[in-house]
Amino acid sequence: MTPLLSEEFTAKLLSMWRAGKTAREIAADLGTTRNAVIGKIFRLRNRGVDLSRAVTAAPPKPPKPEKPAKKEKPAAPKAVWPPPLTADEKAALLAERKAKLARERRARGIKFADLGARDCRYIINAGRPADYLFCGDIREPGKPYCKEHADLCYRPDSSR
């Protein structure tokens, strides 16, 4: 009979386990491997054997020393940085952003399908008609082009 299957081996293993020894310590005392001890414990647990361990009370932890209370300083009002914008500054910033977006849009060009009713229809590239890109800036009232392109395309009235 192998030592792992003997009643004597099992009794020693259980007594050591219940005493709180680790699987490594039990394996060293019984002359086997840690995995063999863990496997035997697992099989005993599956058979319904009570494997509760002895509980040793841990020494109480010393109380932590109390920290001295910090002196609270009155809260100073926080300065808002950057300072809030005035209504005029907000309007100027918004106008600048709109102008920048219009310049970027115009530099890229817009496809015909993306043109709105008030966008300039001046073609800014050459190629096939399906690949045309248009200016897209806000057009002059009564004309299909923006101010700049209307000046390019229409001659001023000359009195003859």
For the chain, give every domain's residue range.
Answer: 3-46, 96-153
Q: What is the pLDDT of residue 37?
A: 92
Predicted model pTM: 0.35
pLDDT digits (tens, 9 = 90+) for 55-78: 666 677 888 888 877 777 777 777
Q: What is the mean pLDDT of residues 23-52?
A: 89
- How far apart CA 26 and CA 46 sit, in angstroms, is 20
Q: What is the pLDDT of residue 58?
A: 67
- Residue 156 in this model has a pLDDT that exceeds 70: yes
How many CB atoms are located within 10 Å of the residue 27 CB?
19
Alpha helices in 6-159 (DSSP H): 7-18, 23-30, 34-46, 87-108, 147-153
Token pair 């809030």 is found at 84
- Pick the more confident residue, 119 or 156: 119
- How far apart CA 19 and CA 11 sit, in angstroms, is 12
Kindly report the average pLDDT of the chain as a whole number. 82
Burial 109-146 (b: 16+ CB within 10 A, else e): ebeeeeeeeebbbbebeeeeeeebbbbbbebbeeeebb
Local confidence band at 160 (pLDDT 50, 70, 90 cut-offs):
low
Cα–Cα separations (whole angstroms), residue 105 to 25, 35, 148? 77, 72, 15
**Cis, peptide link before residue 74, omega less than 30° from 0:** no
Q: What is the mean pLDDT of residues 41-68?
A: 80
Token pair 């082009």 is found at 145
Q: What is the mean pLDDT of residues 12-41?
A: 90
- Pick the more confident residue, 88 or 108: 88
Q: What is the pLDDT of residue 1?
A: 40
Local confidence band at 19 (pLDDT 50, 70, 90 cut-offs):
confident
